[in-house]
């Protein structure tokens, strides 16, 4: 099942972060409002040390407060996707390693990942760290299909041959904010190349596409708005996409190599199912963070 807020059990110990990448992630988070985060699930075996005093475990999750990454939230898994020492269960932006977790409007979403940081009423409807195979239950391959599967804490689409390959969520969403990140895999040249995520019915994706040169594109029900994107695609690139329909379907893309661009359409997206999309490319997705924006 998809992973909603305040749930989960950790089986993931994969971590491919490095100091350079982590430095970029923090810069990216500050610059763009959201940053790419690699898989960083943690589960510290020392938490069950025999001398632990169970009387200091206020949430009764078996982990003493001094070692608990969410001392007041029952989270025996201790998952911490972004590695910032706050467990997913109490991290206001579980995909962004921030030091403050500021929540100006008090709606439970940190400023760095809040589509409206100064207006309450937004709520997280999906936090998916792809911790286990059941994380994609109910998702449906579409378009040319592709080969989508869960693997080691990620969602993989491994076929690079031409074709628009989509993966559709089981649920529809209203007034969406979605952040995802992925690593570019094998590429096939000669056709439309790129990646998208976001509300897809009607088509209102946030995309980075190479049609006649890389372009950051927001599609708005057949009325695309685009801007040049100062990068090319290459295997192992880390790319983050953020779609925010609270701001006229704002689309923001950034890469681990420092490329960044953003564009807004003139039409606000409304509702639909969430799609992930890859054309002429393989990709490995790291997380999905979805907020429904209040009225």
How many residues belong to the chain? 295
- Angular region, 224: left φ>0, alpha ψ -120 to 50, beta rest: beta
Question: Smallest gap, in angstroms, from Cβ of residue 8 to Ca ion?
Answer: 12
Determine if 292 is a binding residue for Ca ion (CB under 5 A).
no
Among 84, 210, 286, 292, binds Ca ion (CB under 5 A): 84
Q: Which is nearer to Ca ion, 107 or 128 (CB)?
A: 107
What's the burial of 46, exposed, middle or buried (CB within 10 Å: 0-12/13-18/19+)? exposed
User: What is the torsion angle, in degrees rounded to the nearest 10, for the CA atoms of residue 106, residue 112, residue 114 and residue 116?
Assistant: 90
Q: Which is nearer to Ca ion, 21 or 225 (CB)?
A: 21
What number of other Cβ atoms are within 10 A of residue 232's Cβ?
Answer: 13
Determine the Cα–Cα distance for residues 256 and 78; give it in Å rounded to an integer: 27
Determine if 9 is a binding residue for Ca ion (CB under 5 A).
no
Token pair listed for 253: 């893309």
Could you give the string, one character per residue 40-59, with x where binding to Ca ion holds by CB under 5 A and - elsewhere?
-------------------x
> Of 47, 49, 104, nearest to 80 (Cα)?
47
Among 77, 91, 112, 237, binds Ca ion (CB under 5 A): 91
Among 70, 125, 136, 200, binds Ca ion (CB under 5 A): 70
Determine if 237 is a binding residue for Ca ion (CB under 5 A).
no
Window of 69-77, 177-185, 211-219, 284-292 that interacts with Ca ion by CB under 5 A: 69-77
Question: Smallest gap, in angstroms, from Cβ of residue 243 to Ca ion?
Answer: 16
List alpha helices for the chain, DSSP H.
19-32
Q: Where on the chain is the footprint of Ca ion (CB under 5 A)?
A: 59, 61, 68, 70, 73, 75, 80, 82, 84, 86, 91, 103, 105, 107, 109, 114, 116, 122
């Amino acid at each position: 099942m998809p992973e909603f807020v305040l749930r989960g059990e950790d089986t993931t110990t994969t971590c491919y972060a490095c100091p350079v990448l982590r430095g970029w992630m923090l810069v990216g988070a500050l610059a763009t409002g959201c940053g790419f985060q690699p898989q960083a699930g943690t589960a510290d075996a020392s938490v069950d040390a025999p001398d632990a005093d169970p009387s200091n475990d206020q949430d009764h999750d078996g982990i003493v407060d001094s070692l608990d990454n969410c001392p007041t939230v029952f989270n025996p898994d201790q998952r911490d996707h972004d590695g910032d020492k706050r467990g997913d269960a109490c991290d206001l932006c579980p995909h962004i390693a921030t030091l403050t977790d500021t929540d100006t409007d008090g709606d439970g979403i940190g400023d760095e990942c809040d589509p409206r940081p100064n207006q309450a009423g937004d709520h997280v409807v999906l936090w998916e760290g792809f911790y286990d195979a059941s994380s994609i239950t109910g998702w449906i391959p579409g378009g040319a299909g592709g080969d989508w599967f869960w693997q080691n804490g990620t969602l993989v689409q491994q076929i690079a041959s031409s074709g628009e390959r989509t993966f559709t969520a089981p649920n529809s969403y209203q007034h969406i904010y979605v952040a995802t990140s992925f690593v570019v895999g094998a590429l096939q040249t000669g056709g439309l190349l790129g990646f998208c995520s976001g509300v897809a019915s009607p088509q209102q994706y946030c995309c980075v596409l190479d049609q006649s040169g890389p372009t950051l594109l927001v599609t708005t029900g057949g009325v695309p708005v685009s801007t040049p994107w100062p990068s090319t695609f290459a295997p192992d690139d880390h790319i983050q996409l953020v779609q925010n329909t609270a701001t006229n379907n704002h689309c923001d893309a950034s890469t681990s190599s420092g490329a960044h661009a953003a564009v807004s359409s003139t039409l606000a997206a409304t509702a639909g199912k969430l799609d992930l999309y890859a054309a002429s490319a393989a990709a490995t997705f790291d997380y999905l963070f979805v907020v429904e924006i209040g009225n």
